[in-house]
Amino acid sequence: MADTPKKNIYDSPFKPTWCPGCGNFSIWLSLKKALNHLGLPPHKVLIVYGIGCSGNMSNTINAYGWHSLHGRAVPTGIGAKLANKDLTVIIAGGDGDGYGEGLSHFIHAIRGNVNVTYLVHNNSVYGLTTGQAAPTASKGYKAKSTPEGIIEEPINPMALALASEATFVARGFSGKADQLVDLMVKGIQHPGFALVDIFQPCVTFNKINTFSYYYERIYSLQDDATYKVNDRQMALAKAFERDKHPIGLFYQNTKRPSYDHELSYLGGRSLLSQGSRERNMKSLFKEFI
């Protein structure tokens, strides 16, 4: 990736209050670096935050921000994009927020292929509420909410996204910042719904999925010259690997048009640019009398 300007226009005078050593710091810095690299004006960027530690970024990036309800960051971001398609819309949430409370929104957003980028801070716990098990936690994982260990199988977000026919599926790791920046840039540039799932160790409440744990198990898909990012079956096989954890770009399809591109009433323009007109609602009201 080309060098980015030294002064980052996305810097804010405010700093996050995460625990020292939290993997979220790398995500925060990587997102600002990715946006700066793309040269997007801050007033044309909207970041919608979910509830959880990920939402702690909400006033620490110099761009428009909206703190959504728990599990509702994705539909909020989609609504903003459909109202003003000229905005670059990024959604930042946690694995509990996105794969728990917001799981159905996640799947339907993929179905529609709305042109937004979804960054999921995946640490397998609900960190903000002090460490309950999240949907991505492994079977048997013991936490405050599951003292005898989780009975359910974990959500596999990569396989789920691919099976739902997502057009951009990637996974990064907080401990590999340069690659994470590159994945964010590619996701933002992608003309459709882009998922960037991010392994983000919670140093306070998750003592299993640590930085050391991931360094021992991760490998980059792009290190294999035979890997094809346009082969969904190959990507699915990688998504189901258990002993090792592949990171990088799993799959991309740029041929499928985005939802906002296909909407006939937009006509290639933002709703905000089309103005409004008065409508006579009397005939509509009569139908309900």
Whole-number Å distance between alpha carbons of 268 and 58: 30
Does some domain include residue 191?
yes
Is the pLDDT at 4 greater than 70, yes or no?
Answer: no
Does some domain include residue 183?
yes
Does some domain include residue 255?
yes
The model carries a pTM of 0.92
What's the mean pLDDT in 220-245?
96
Per-residue pLDDT tens digits for 92-108? 999 999 999 999 999 99
Does some domain include residue 68?
yes
Q: Across the strands, what pairs with 197?
A: 120, 171
**Residue 268, domain CATH:** 3.40.50.970
* Confidence grade of residue 277 (pLDDT, cut at 50, 70, 90): confident
With tokens 């590619």, the residue in question is 186
3-state secondary structure of 77: helix
Cα 230 to Cα 42, 168, 211, 254, 289: the distances in Å are 32, 10, 30, 9, 54
Amino acid 222 reads: Q
Does some domain include residue 3?
no
3-state secondary structure of 252: strand
Is the pLDDT at 31 greater than 80, yes or no?
Answer: yes
The encoded tokens of residue 21 equal 């050593």
Residue among 212, 216, 213, 179 at smallest CA distance from 198 = 179
Does some domain include residue 15?
no
Per-residue pLDDT tens digits for 41-85? 999 999 999 999 999 898 899 999 999 988 999 999 999 998 898
Per-residue pLDDT tens digits for 110-165? 999 999 999 999 999 999 889 899 999 999 999 888 999 999 999 999 999 999 99
Q: Percentage of residues in the chain with pLDDT exceeding 70? A: 97
Amino acid 54 reads: S
Whole-number Å distance between alpha carbons of 207 and 133: 12
Total number of domains constituting the chain: 1
H or E element, residue 181: helix 177-189
Residue span of the structural domain in which 213 resides: 24-286
Decide if 168 contacts 187 (C-beta within 8 A).
Answer: yes
